[in-house]
Amino acid sequence: MAFRRRNKSYPFFSQEFLIQNHADIVLTLVIFILIALMFEATAKTAILFIQPQYNVTTLSPEGEVTVYHYGWKDGATVLFYLCIVIILHAVVQEYLLDKVNRRLHLSKSKNTKFNESGQLCVFHLVSSVWSLYILLTEGYLLHPSSLWENYPHIHLRFQVKFFYLTQLAYWLHALPELYFQKVRKEEIPRQLQYIGLYLLHIAAAYLLNLSRVGLVLLFLQYLSELGFHIARLFYFTDENHQKMFDLWAVSFVFTRMATLTLMFLAVGFGLARSENQGLDWDSGNFNTVLIRMTVLLLVCLTQSWLLWKFIRFQLRRWREFRHEQALRKKTAAKQPLRPLKRDSLGHHENGVLKAENGASPRTKKLKSP
């Protein structure tokens, strides 16, 4: 199964061969792991990559429930789903984005941004719907106090743990994709910034047993980013679509305010008033003043940095708009109305001399010498 059109063949083990066929190579690795499930000698090892580990059966009013906690074996599961995400990335690029790009005829820089927004638009849509479904089924939205009550939340349902593992897999896969997609050197620092921030916040919520608060924050963030990338996709198709950026600006500011409010409510007040205080690695309790202040400081610095970038972006758009308006006024002032040329016999109209009464004047006959 080939994901890319083969316009030119490259020698094996070369850089271009790896870039052109990376999805096929990863797909082969995934098939080998799936085949390993068929043999008893390798099934136990293969299951580490496919199924989330550290499951525990507990009793609840609903009966026996299987819950999970985290451990070092989660790294194998993240690695396997990282390969799955690379394959899905290639499928979306080949069968959706490349077909749209061939119709739009964008420049190279716009083409790169269009592909980036297209990939992130699909991911943010799936992740926002998925996180909203988890929040509704787990009852976190109807009972906000459950976000910090009974901390530490060391036991996770299958859908919660699988969500976090796939989130880590996606943002880790974005690192090799910078190489596979041949991203320009000027764009790499910007993309590394938001990839690193996502990995840091998701890993902190997962490892510090703040998974419930992290779910709400990820839902808000992904919903806001979905609006931005949809607006940018529409802008690349038609540059007159500017109003969607204004709608995104409102949602962006709301997301920043909601994120800070929720973090101060859950971590600053909820966990601070909890009776279960102290640091205990075995029970997964990280409810100390130092850790709470570190988490709040990290979130506040991140939100402040995002707001600062947002204000710079809006100011740049405002300056460009004012500059365009000034240029339009100057060009309009430099083009006065041309007066009609008149002479004693009449005036010119479409290159023909007309008399004052509208009739063409008679031409004088030249006398022969």
pLDDT digits (tens, 9 = 90+) for 24-70: 899 999 999 999 999 989 999 999 999 999 998 887 777 788 899 99
Write out the H or E segment, with its range, that includes residue 87: helix 74-92
pLDDT at position 368 over 70:
no
Contact 309, 190 (CB under 8 A): no
- pLDDT for 246 equals 85
Distance CA 121, CA 228 (A): 9
Whole-number Cα distances in Å, 329 to 81, 97, 170? 56, 39, 49
pLDDT at position 359 over 60:
no
Answer with the residue of higher pLDDT: 10 or 53: 53
The 10s digit of each residue's pLDDT in 198-228 is 999 999 999 999 999 999 999 999 999 999 9
Distance CA 295, CA 93 (A): 36
The dihedral of CA 16, 91, 77, 176: what is its sign?
positive
pLDDT at position 7 over 60:
no
Please give the average per-residue pLDDT across 70-89, as a whole number.
Answer: 95
- pLDDT for 336 equals 58
- Cα of first residue to Cα of last residue in the chain, in angstroms, is 92
Half-sphere exposure of 22 (CA within 13 A, CB side): 22
| Rg of the Cα atoms in the chain | 31
Placement of tokens 């850089």 in the chain: 15
Comparing 4-13, 101-110, 116-125, 225-234, the range with the smallest average pLDDT is 4-13
Contact 287, 151 (CB under 8 A): yes
The 10s digit of each residue's pLDDT in 127-146 is 999 999 999 999 898 888 89
- pLDDT for 159 equals 94
Percent of the chain past pLDDT 70, that is, above it, reads 87
pLDDT at position 343 over 90:
no
Distance CA 137, CA 131 (A): 10
- pLDDT for 286 equals 92
| Structure tokens given for 39 | 């043999």
- pLDDT for 338 equals 56
Contact 305, 218 (CB under 8 A): no
Distance CA 163, CA 160 (A): 5
Please give the average per-residue pLDDT across 284-306, as a whole number.
Answer: 93
> Coil, helix or strand for 135?
helix
285 DSSP β-pair partners: 280
Distance CA 214, CA 206 (A): 8
